[in-house]
Amino acid sequence: MIQSMTAFARNQATLDELSITLELRSVNHRYLDISIRAPEEVREIEQALRNLLSEKLSRGKVELNIRSQLNPLAENNHGLQINTELVKQLSNACETISKNLAAADKMNPLEILHWPGVMQAQQTDSKALQQTVTDCLAEALDEFVANRKGEGVKLAAMLITRCDEMEKIVAHVKKIIPTVLEARKQKILSRLAEFDVEHDDKRIEQEMVLLAQKMDVSEETDRLGVHLSEVRNVLKQSKPVGRRLDFLMQELNREANTLGSKSVDTETTRASVDLKVLIEQMREQVQNIE
């Protein structure tokens, strides 16, 4: 089953007074590009988080955003703590300065609160935090992969529908080629009759053989059929197939262009254009497949 490279997942967990929120999102990319934004306490296990993502994902620009904050609903939430020893030191320093300055302003408590180190968050066990984040990511990753697969099912259905339409066009081209060739022959004979000149039947046959060779698109239609069959087979595989599908789109487009260049009638030209439109629609969606 193919997977899309576009997905989103969100998960939350709690640890003591901390509320941990994890968001995982990805868009299409040629390779696997992982970026992680996390609190300083989690940086120690960043490589482990990358390895966890790499085990489940092969392509895509993946962004992992981890936030932690005090949970206001926690029963034992003591909130921020004040470093009283530092406050005493700052107070003594302010009194010393006031004694030496006649016009010194009175100490403002709010300014003291902004001093680095005065306000302290309650310490959390870093190992427990790291384990909680890892478990939270594992759960989010399961949902994330499921979302990718769900989107992949839709993409596969769309591609198969386009393959059906292209196969109908190819079958129609194979059917009309003998009719087109006969029509060209009759047109040449009609033109000769208008000029009322004698003509060599053998030479006419030679020209028709050359014209038939020029109009021969059997190789192109056969290769189109083979490539479309390969697209169907690739869509059944469980491994990442995005790059292979992209290559097949290039091959399909090459054959459609050749079919158009050999066309000598409007119907075959229209078929070539219709094929290229369908191929372009498929190519746009293939860019999102892992």
pLDDT of residue 47: 93
Same domain, 256 and 216: yes
For residue range 25-49, list pLDDT tens digits in order: 999 999 999 999 998 888 889 999 9
Same domain, 222 and 276: yes
Same domain, 189 and 95: no
Q: What is the CATH number for 50?
A: 3.30.230
pLDDT of residue 193: 67
Same domain, 155 and 113: no
Same domain, 188 and 230: yes
pLDDT of residue 99: 75
For residue range 114-155, list pLDDT tens digits in order: 667 665 555 556 788 889 999 999 999 999 999 999 999 999
Three-state SS sequence of the chain: CCCECCEEEEEEEEECCEEEEEEEEEECCCCEEEEEECCHHHHHHHHHHHHHHHHHCCCEEEEEEEEEEECCCCCCCCCEEECHHHHHHHHHHHHHHHHHCCCCCCCCHHHHHCCCCCEEECCCCHHHHHHHHHHHHHHHHHHHHHHHHHHHHHHHHHHHHHHHHHHHHHHHHHHHHHHHHHHHHHHHHHHHHHHCCCCCHHHHHHHHHHHHHHHCCHHHHHHHHHHHHHHHHHHCCCCCCHHHHHHHHHHHHHHHHHHHHCCCCHHHHHHHHHHHHHHHHHHHHHCCEC
Average pLDDT over the chain reads 84
Range of the domain at 277: 151-286
Same domain, 116 and 130: no
Into how many domains does the chain fold? 3
pLDDT of residue 15: 82
Same domain, 95 and 31: no
Whether 245 is covered by a domain: the verdict is yes
Label residue 105 by pLDDT band (50, 70, 90): low
When pLDDT is averaged across residues 270-275 and rounded to a whole number, the result is 94
Same domain, 186 and 242: yes
Same domain, 110 and 201: no
Q: Which residue has the higher pLDDT, 240 or 97?
A: 240
For residue range 171-226, list pLDDT tens digits in order: 998 888 778 777 776 666 676 667 666 666 676 666 666 666 666 778 889 999 99
Same domain, 51 and 113: no
